[in-house]
Amino acid sequence: MKTLITGGAGFIGSHLADRLLERGDKVILLDNLSTGRYENIQHVIGRSDAEFVLGSILNADLVDDLVSRCDRVFHLAAAVGVQLIVEKPLESLQTNIRGSEIVFEKAHKYTKPILVTSTSEIYGKNTSDKLHEDDDRIIGSPLKSRWSYSEAKAIDEILAYTYWRAKGLPTTIVRLFNTVGPRQTGRYGMVIPRFVQQAVREEPITVYGDGRQTRCFCHVTDVVEALIALIEHPESHGRVFNLGGEGEISMAELATRIVDRVGSSSKIRYVPYDEAYEEGFEDMERRVPDTGRIRELIGFTPERDLDAIIDDVIAFQRQ
Ligand code: UDP
């Protein structure tokens, strides 16, 4: 089995590559190293079962060649991270819309099963107790960068779903909730690597807003295992799945938990949203996944809890 991973040098893509190689598969990793990092995949360079291609999903000829040479596609390449989206709105949109369109078009041309990672940002400001895949989206103006990201990923989902419905292409859509683990950087927003880095350096922990907003976190190892099980399950085709962790926690509590586990003397500093992102920025107050659908299909239950996640990130950063 030869698998193409777009975004293969990224945080999740590189872990997925490791797991597939461990299983004896071959991988092609396409990445333009905009947010992906060479260090994430350096250990597989030179292996006969791994090929790294430096390039963009916007290069249709390149994508055509790679898709023609693989058996299936994990489409992970995207502009991600709230901070990045706010800072580079145009590039983000182009990658997430035009890039995805190219990848789907080629998957269809060569009839290759494709899994696309979408996002819990799809639900926007919906603060339901548990967000179900069929729940409504509540989003703000598309002129706000955060919501334009949600719109772009919604278009990816529509593309995937329509290729399945209209053309019978085996597509699987996965809405990733907050995914964390080694190799993730805090440069583009991601809260846990940021808090850990601040705690390790004994710097103030920057909690945005009033810190009462909540999230659930899932370890990247649990996530990649589920992605593989999903693409290999025929009943995943034409469907969308939430994939996320358990244990809702507020950002203020998370800051304290991380300071404790690091054994740091860092203090919490509350930063207004306008200062942290941009004027008029809207956060999501709450984001809790309903994972019933994915549990039913592939028996998904996360094996690693929040403390294990935090400890892994601490170990990675200290290393
Ligand atoms: N956050 C924070 N301090 C930081 C970075 C993020 O308080 O230094 C908050 C952010 O405002 C959000 C939550 O942590 O409420 C999760 O942010 P992240 O960017 O990790 O993911 P999101 O869930 O927003 O996509």
pLDDT digits (tens, 9 = 90+) for 195-233: 999 999 999 999 999 999 999 999 999 999 999 999 999
What pLDDT shows up at residue 238? 97
pTM of the predicted model, to two decimals? 0.96
pLDDT digits over 153-200, tens only? 999 999 999 999 999 999 999 999 999 999 999 888 799 999 999 999
CA of 188 to the centre of ligand 1 (A): 10
pLDDT at 27: 98
What integer best gives the mean pLDDT of the chain? 95
d(CA 194, CA 313): 10
82 close to ligand 1 (CB < 6 Angstrom): yes
C-alpha 23 – ligand 1 centre gap (Å): 34
Residue closest by Cα to atom 16 of ligand 1: 191
Is residue 286 in contact with ligand 1, taking CB distance under 6 Å? no
Q: Which residue has a Cα nearest atom 1 of ligand 1?
A: 191
- Which protein residue has the closest C-alpha to ligand 1 atom 14? 191
Which of these is catalytic: 123, 149, 188, 208?
149
Protein residue with its CA nearest to atom 3 in ligand 1: 207
Which ligand 1 atom sits nearest the alpha carbon of residue 273? 11
The preferred substitution site among 12, 179, 208, 285 for testing ligand 1, maximizing ligand atoms within 8 Å of CB, is 208
> What CA–CA distance (Å, rounded) separates 317 from 181?
10
**Structure confidence by residue, pLDDT tens digits, 115-148:** 999 999 999 999 888 999 999 999 998 888 888 8
- CB environment 186-220: b (16+ within 10 A), e (fewer): bebbbbbbbbbbbbbeeeebbbbbebebbbbbbbb
Write down all domains in the chain, each with its CATH number in brackets. 2-180+218-245 (3.40.50.720)
Other Cβ atoms closer than 10 A to 54? 13
Pocket-testing residue among 215, 217, 288, ligand 1, by greatest number of atoms within 8 A of Cβ: 215
Region 24-36 average pLDDT:
96
Region 8-19 average pLDDT: 98
Mean pLDDT lowest among 40-44, 89-93, 256-260, 284-288: 89-93
* 8 A C-beta contact, residue 105 and residue 156: no
**Given a cut of 90, is residue 18 above it in pLDDT?**
yes
Tell me the pLDDT band of 280, cut-offs 50, 70 and 90.
confident
Tell how far the Cα of 70 is from the centroid of ligand 1, in angstroms. 36
| Catalytic annotation present for 149 | yes
Residues 282-300 pLDDT 10s: 888 999 999 999 999 999 9
pLDDT over 70 for what percent of the chain? 100
Q: How far is the CA of 212 from the centre of ligand 1 (A)?
A: 11
Q: Kindly give the interhelix angle for 251-262 and 191-200, rounded to the nearest 10 degrees.
A: 40
Q: Ligand 1 in contact with 194 (CB < 6 A)?
A: yes
Q: For the residues 56-73, what does the mean pLDDT come to?
A: 98
Instruction: Determine the distance separating the centroid of ligand 1 and the alpha carbon of 127, expressed in angstroms.
Output: 16
In this predicted structure, what is the pLDDT of residue 188? 80
Rounded distance between C-alpha atoms, residue 64 and residue 109, angstroms: 9
* pLDDT score of 80: 82
Give the number of the atom of ligand 1 that is nearest the alpha carbon of residue 192. 20
Distance, CA 190 to ligand 1 centroid (Å)?
6
pLDDT at 144: 83
Report pLDDT for 53.
98
Distance from the CA of 300 to the center of ligand 1, in angstroms?
Answer: 25
Residue 189 Cβ < 6 Å to ligand 1: yes
Whole-number pLDDT of residue 240? 98
Cβ count near 164 (within 10 Å):
18
